[in-house]
Structure 1
C-alpha cells in the first residue's frame, strides 16, 4: 500500500512560495495549516502529495538536487507544434506569477521542456 507523503522545502517566504506553487499546480492552501513560519498546499482532489515550506534564514546557494516537473502535455503527442504552444502558454502564465525562464530544451526540432526558476530561485521544468 502506498503511503501519504509531503514534499518539504526551505524558503525565505514560505507563504509567497505556497501561493506561487498553488497557482502553478492547481493546488490550494492546506485548510487549518496556520503556521507563521511555514506554509503547505494540497491537491484539492486529494490525489497528489502535499507540499510544504518552512522559513529558513539563509538564501538558496546551490542547484536543487530535487525539483518539480510540471507536465502540461503528453510527450507522446503527435502534434509537436500544439504541444510546444501548450508548454509556452504555461510558461507565460508562470512568469506572470513571478517565475523566470532559464532556457528551452529542444530534442531535435521539437521543444522538450523549459527550465524555469520559481520566485526564490528554485529550478523546475515545464513539459
Structure 2
C-alpha cells in the first residue's frame, strides 16, 4: 500500500507562514469545511476561542502532485539548524550560469515575500550544480536548487 504524507512545520504564525509558502510554491490554502465560506466562520461556529484561531494552517498543491504542508503553532522558537529542509526546485534542467541566474531571480522574488538569503554555493561539477540557501520568515532554512 502506498502511503500519503504531509510535511508538518512547527512555527509561531501558522497563517503567515502558510501564506508565504503558498506563494513560494504556487500552492493554495486548504478550503474551509463544507458549509463554511471561510475558516474564520468555521472556527467561530466550532467555538474555537479567538486566541486559538491561528494554531494551524495548511496548504496544498492545486495540481495534486506535491505533498500537503501543515503549519502548527508551537510555544518555542527555532533554536538550531533544521535537520530536514525543503528544496525549492527553481532551475530544473539548467546548468552553469543559466542555472545560477535563474536561482538569483527566484531568490530576489522570495526575498520580496519575506525570505532571507543566507549563502550561495557555487557550482562544482560533477557533483554540485550550485544552489542558494535561504530562510523563510521564521528562520527555517531551505535551498533554491
What's the TM-score, normalizing by structure 1?
Answer: 0.90
2:97 paired with 1:88: no
Dislocated runs of 4+, deviation >3 Å = 108-111
Structure with greater strand share of residues: 1
**Structure 1: gaps (5+ residues):** none
Cα distance in 2, alignment partners of residues 94 and 111 from structure 1? 20
Q: Could you say if the C-alpha distance between residues 111 and 104 of structure 1 is closer, same or farther in structure 2, counting changes exceeding 3 Å? A: farther
The residue that corresponds to 1:41 in the other structure is 59
**Structure 2: gaps (5+ residues):** 34-38, 44-52
Structure with greater helix share of residues: 2
RMSD across aligned C-alpha pairs, in angstroms? 1.8
> Contact 1:104–1:111 at 8 Å: present in 2 too?
no
The residue that corresponds to 2:79 in the other structure is 61
The residue that corresponds to 2:94 in the other structure is 77
The residue that corresponds to 1:120 in the other structure is 138
Count of residues paired in the alignment:
125
